Structure 1
Amino acid sequence: MLSNTGTVSFYLYLFFIVIGLLSIFIVYYLIKKGTLDPDKLENFLTYFKWVIITLAISTVTLIVTDLFKERDQDIKELQYFDKYVNDVKNEERPLVRLQLAKYLSIVAPSGEMKKSWTNYYDTIKREYKEYIKAQIDLKKDSAIKNPTPDQLKQKEENQRKVDLFETPLSSTTNENNAEWFIIAAGNTDIDGANINLEKAVKINHNSSIIKKGGSFRTVLMGYPSKIEAESQLQKVRNEVNPMSYIVRKATWCNTIEKGSECLICK
């Protein structure tokens, strides 16, 4: 409670007000009883003014000075931690991103900054566990030769979790030169992917099948910004697959080559 300068200042103000009121009551009581002669009254008032005016002003001045010092320190801390914010946002390796968040949640100064980093670390730690589980489930899904519709749906959901967590929150790539994809679906065979592709080309003629990690993805390509991709995402979800999602090309698959059946992510 007393770590905040404003709170300390408030309680000190309250303290001096209480002293002032008590002094007034004491003087009034002594005058009424007739036990306080004029000379003593004058000395008491002089002392009272010294306590309230001199000491109070000195204390408040020190508090204000400390307040500015704390503010300057807060600004320096914000500038220091701002560098790490970009590191977390741009980090492509999921485990490194998690470790950075853990480090910042520990070393951040007490207060709202520490609370925010701790909350973020708790969130990303939970998402990382889901990401690891999704990776394990994907390997199991790939071993199934004739998956059921429910199994295919679950595989798409696991793939979505993996892709999204492996995509950094931001990128140093120039936003104007970035390309965004809508990942509409993923299939274990090219025939299933072609069915989804027929639906996708009706929305965006620049759609294709990209094979990545043993899965044939139906991808709507050529969006110059995330906003433009988002403008068609809901339509893709309604007409192709309700679990469609958006990724940045540079982080999802920077190198794409032409294969015999479809494009291949290297």
Structure 2
Amino acid sequence: MEKMEHTVLDEQQGDRIDKIISGLDDEWSRTQVQQWIKEGAVLVNGKTVKTNYKCSLNDVIKISIPEPEELDVIPEEMDLDIYYEDKDVLVVNKPRGMVVHPAPGHMTGTLVNGLMAHCKDLSGINGVLRPGIVHRIDKDTSGLLMVAKNDLAHESLVNQLVEKTVTRKYKAIVHGVIPHDFGTIDAPLGRDSKDRQSMAVVDNGKHAVTHFQVLERFNDFTFVECQLETGRTHQIRVHMKYIGYPLAGDPKYGPKKTLDLNGQALHAGVLGFIHPRTNEYLEFEAPLPDEMEYLLTQLRK
């Protein structure tokens, strides 16, 4: 374990501890530093502090830099559908049925296993089991994901998600015929008190906003495009159920009688973000997967 000591200078008085430490080394991202503070690896005058602690002149900061954990993810050769890649970021089109990162129960066959074989350099901010993963989409949702190849990129992309500047548009087929062309669902999401494995609209939940637009109407279904303003777990699935139009094929939030799809008809089709290094806005679009196209063809009949 590497140790480092720093005494707070005159011009650093009043600055947050995480800001000061991340400024000591270009390789240390603020997110990484905050993690160290939470783990008690940072002491100020011999005591642990919170990440928002404001430093005083001559405060002595001691940092015990933890050894990076060995990555226990097995690289697996996969035929990944990569839309864009450079030294900082990668954009991949995930097929439905694939889990994004390893977890107990599925340590292999995930997108992260494939990414590890494809490129050795992925950011380590999220701990060892989900290197590079900035945001995720559900197993049975297909579509575009951005992946960070270093901590600088990771921090930039996470900040863009927090600031709601990332463009994320999804196509979905829902039960029922939505009468109006546009709508916004603003309803807080949290764990369902009756079923901890599910999410629900709850009073004390996290702020969640989904905008939708009707693309096509059928006898009993509607084809919509949803744009995420926030990115909560199962957000589109729960929000559409909440307003009475659950996703077709959704085993968790949809009706018992639904389309036989082996999972929800949801595709992350458009992804746009500002490149962490060049500050250029990039946007990508992935076409609907074959099974959703086939479903629409059947519904049109």
TM-score by length of 1: 0.31
Decide which structure has greater strand share: 2
Compare the two structures and name the one with the higher helix fraction: 1
Larger gyration radius, structure 1 or structure 2 = 1
